[in-house]
Amino acid sequence: MAKSDEKITLKKGPWNPEEDRKLIAYITRYGIWNWSQMAKPAGLQRSGKSCRLRWVNYLRPGLKHGNFTREEVETILDLHQKLGNRWSVIASRLPGRTDNEIKNYWNTHLSRRLKHDLVPKTESFQIPIIETEPKSSSEIVLPPGNAPKASNAETSGAIQLPLCSSNPAGEIDKSKTFGELQSILEQSFSAQGSYKHYKKMHF
């Protein structure tokens, strides 16, 4: 930890749209090089961990948000039975899903059901999952053609972005318009109603 960082009061709690835009803009321009050092030049008073978590779990392109499909739930149940709470491994088998999201889903939907249902058979579950077609605007799954590519980078959070050859610790790309950045955000939320909810809350 750099001494200079210790003097800065790092912000905690929910991210606001401006912070998201800054992080997206910085990563779009410079890529991911060092989380702990990126925050400052990106204009964020956040810890590297916080930036990484926000990117990996929420802002990273290709992420699905919203309800799990029946197929995904069955995969989770199957892998959890085999692997236990190895969420990152399970997430690597579900493109577009993060370990955090799967963990949350398990804790809120599945573990409780398992406690109530003595027989953990998938067909015995009454889980709020969706089939191929969404039931409503808030239950939209990833549209065709927007499916993220499965790769190791999916879970690691690594992305194909321009690498910074020189010192990237400069200003963020101010040439990015709000619209461009918002479109990146929208892409992140493209699959579901969460972005609508997000906009409702923050914009």
Partner DNA sequence: AAGTCATACAACCGCCGGAAT
Partner DNA sequence: TATTCCGGCGGTTGTATGACT
Residues found near DNA in the complex (CB under 7 A) = 1-2, 11-15, 34-37, 46, 48-50, 52-54, 56-58, 65-66, 85-89, 99-101, 103-105, 107-109, 128, 155-158, 194, 201
Q: How far is the CB of 16 from DNA (least distance, A)?
A: 8
Q: How far is the CB of 144 from DNA (least distance, A)?
A: 22
Q: How far is the CB of 104 from DNA (least distance, A)?
A: 4
> Do the beta carbons of residue 17 and residue 203 sit within 8 Å?
yes
Complex with DNA: residue 6 or 145, whichever CB lies closer: 6
> Do the beta carbons of residue 134 and residue 141 sit within 8 Å?
yes
| DSSP state, residue 13 | S
Complex with DNA: residue 28 or 50, whichever CB lies closer: 50
Alpha helices, DSSP H, located in 55-171: 70-83, 87-92, 99-105, 111-116, 152-156
Complex with DNA: residue 158 or 164, whichever CB lies closer: 158
Q: How far is the CB of 143 from DNA (least distance, A)?
A: 19
Q: Estimate to the nearest angstrom the gap between the alpha carbon of 26 and the chain centroid.
A: 17
Complex with DNA: residue 153 or 174, whichever CB lies closer: 153
Residue 19 tokens read as 């912070």
Residue 174's SS3 state is coil
Q: How far is the CB of 175 from DNA (least distance, A)?
A: 25
Q: How far is the CB of 50 from DNA (least distance, A)?
A: 4
Angle at 94 between CA 88 and CA 98, to 5 degrees: 50
Complex with DNA: residue 43 or 177, whichever CB lies closer: 43
> Do the beta carbons of residue 202 and residue 16 sit within 8 Å?
yes
> Do the beta carbons of residue 23 and residue 54 sit within 8 Å?
yes
Complex with DNA: residue 113 or 176, whichever CB lies closer: 113
Residue 1 tokens read as 């930890």
Residue 22 tokens read as 């800054």
